[in-house]
Amino acid sequence: MFIEKLKSLLGSELVSASESELYRHSKDESFHQPVEPDIICFPESTDDVVKIMQVANEFNVSVTPYGAGSGLEGQAIPVNKGITINFERMNKVIDFSPEDLTITIQPGITRSELNEVSNRQGLIFPIDPGADATIGGMVATNASGTTAVRYGSMRDQVLDLEIVLASGKVIRTGTKAKKSSSGYHLSGLFTGSEGTLGIITGISLRLHGIPEHTIAARCTFDTLSACAEAAQTILQCGIQVLRMELVDDKSIAAVNAYGNYDIPVAHSLFFEFAGTKVGVEEEAKLAEEVMRELGCNNWEDASTSKERSQLWTARHEIAYAYRHVKGVAVTGADVCVPISKLPEMVDYARLLIEESGLNGGILGHVGDGNFHTLVSFNPTIPSEQTKAEYTNEALTFRAIELGGTCTGEHGVGLGKRKFQEAEHGAAIEVMKDIKQLLDPSNLLNPGKIFY
């Protein structure tokens, strides 16, 4: 059967069906129901992946790619069982061209590993989703995070992908040129397709110069919508931020308790400005003036690395402050709306959480109009889960009504399938046709994006 075939083709050291590996590959960071694969393969090359696809075709078995398991919508959960491909042995740099600000890597390299290599040449890969995800996983979900307001999302960084198609054929989707008007934009199509159209085995990315100087800052406002309006004003003034994050008072309280911080418990904006020293100081000063004019409290800034890290560390720990509580599950929305709709949306989010009676907070990348709710519930009490889910659904359908999207950066996976029809309408049929075209036997990460 297919497990034997995989062992004979790849060698038994590249496959595992041990209990601990099956468990590890049954889940991600989300609350979605775990499912164990039948077997996990650890390919070392594109050729190995081609062999896996050949076996998958021969035995009609599902294939689910797995990066670091840090996904938030169940993309790595093999709902139809079958073969999981773990890319941890495909984590090499293939070609690094600092003079072109580009690098070609295998998909299993993590964000921090990529930055270690890049930093040595004065370059960074700036996309920062928080987790130390693999780059393959980040391409698959079109991840972004706190720096998207400056650098865009993963799709904006991808120059070229090597893809193993469902048929086992290998294609390249782009070139190493910075721009192109040749052929159809397959790089954009495969980025964000969550392993449902093909398997990513190579990635060429843009890199960026490390900014010369950075200033961090934080301030608070009396209401959540005042924070959102202030963020909008920053953008309208053309002030260049590297990061601009909204965090509500509940989340500040949660992270104060979790990390023993002492941050003013109020609705807050966190900033980072980066560029040349003169330019950054000008931006930060201008931002402070604008914020004070809008009535902010507690403006605090820092330009030394240690102070900066103090100002920001808490922000990075908020998700943990919610997620890592024993006996508690967390669900959350990932809406992104036109920036002018942000004030009413954050107020609506707060209202929904209040009405649910559950503990929850709001935080997000407000420079993009993208924010999350984090709602904690006891998974053994069905009514709590129902209420938590309701806050997501009401908020997300409202975001779609206002011209926004159900997912700004986490991807669709299992949890956002229910919003696809409302968001995409008739375009869903085109998407399903493309899926059918490229994966006629539905072998590639089945059950994701579409029902």
Q: Which of residues 272-291 bind a copy of itself (CB under 8 A)?
A: 275-276, 278-279, 282-283
Q: How far is the CB of 161 from a copy of itself (least distance, A)?
A: 10
Judged by CB under 8 A, how many residues of this single chain contact a copy of itself?
91
Q: How far is the CB of 142 from a copy of itself (least distance, A)?
A: 4
Q: How far is the CB of 94 from a copy of itself (least distance, A)?
A: 12
Q: According to the binding rule CB under 8 A, does residue 405 interact with a copy of itself?
A: yes
Q: How far is the CB of 20 from a copy of itself (least distance, A)?
A: 31
Choose, by CB under 8 A, the member of 9, 186, 253, 328 that binds a copy of itself. Answer: 186
Query: Please, are residues 208 and 274 in contact by the beta-carbon 8 Å criterion?
Result: no
b/e 235-252 (16+ beta carbons within 10 angstroms → b): beeebbbbbbbbbbbbbb
Taking CB under 8 A as the criterion, which residues in 347-366 touch a copy of itself? none
Taking CB under 8 A as the criterion, which residues in 136-175 touch a copy of itself? 141-144, 148, 152-153, 155-156, 165, 169-173, 175
Choose, by CB under 8 A, the member of 310, 424, 441, 442 that binds a copy of itself. Answer: 424
Q: According to the binding rule CB under 8 A, does residue 97 interact with a copy of itself?
A: yes
Query: Please, are residues 46 and 202 in contact by the beta-carbon 8 Å criterion?
Result: yes
Q: According to the binding rule CB under 8 A, does residue 451 interact with a copy of itself?
A: no
Q: According to the binding rule CB under 8 A, does residue 368 interact with a copy of itself?
A: yes
Taking CB under 8 A as the criterion, which residues in 209-238 touch a copy of itself? 209, 211-212, 232, 235-236, 238
What residues contact 399, with CB distance under 8 A and at least 6 apart?
Answer: 333, 335, 336, 337, 341, 345, 405, 406
Which of 47, 53, 20, 174 is CA-nearest to residue 445? 53
H or E segment to which residue 139 belongs: helix 135-141
Q: How far is the CB of 224 from a copy of itself (least distance, A)?
A: 18
CB atoms near residue 327 (< 10 Å): 8
User: What 3-state DSSP class applies to 264?
Assistant: coil
In the chain, what are the helix, strand and coil shares in percent, each to the nearest 5?
Answer: 40, 20, 35
| Closest to a copy of itself by CB, 202 or 275 | 275
CB atoms near residue 13 (< 10 Å): 9
For a copy of itself, which stretch binds (CB under 8 A), given 30-38, 59-67, 333-341, 376-384?
Answer: 333-341
For a copy of itself, which stretch binds (CB under 8 A), given 15-23, 54-62, 355-363, 399-407?
Answer: 399-407
φ/ψ of 282, rounded to 5, equals -65, -45
| Closest to a copy of itself by CB, 21 or 283 | 283
Which x/- pattern over 246-275 shows residues binding a copy of itself (rule: CB under 8 A)?
-----------------------------x
Number of alpha helices (DSSP H) and beta strands (DSSP E) in the chain:
15, 19
Q: According to the binding rule CB under 8 A, does residue 94 interact with a copy of itself?
A: no
Query: Please, are residues 421 and 55 in contact by the beta-carbon 8 Å criterion?
Result: no
Which of 354, 375, 259, 396 is CA-nearest to residue 316? 259
Which of 394, 329, 330 is CA-nearest to residue 363? 330
| Closest to a copy of itself by CB, 225 or 370 | 370
Q: According to the binding rule CB under 8 A, does residue 28 interact with a copy of itself?
A: no
Taking CB under 8 A as the criterion, which residues in 99-138 touch a copy of itself? 99-102
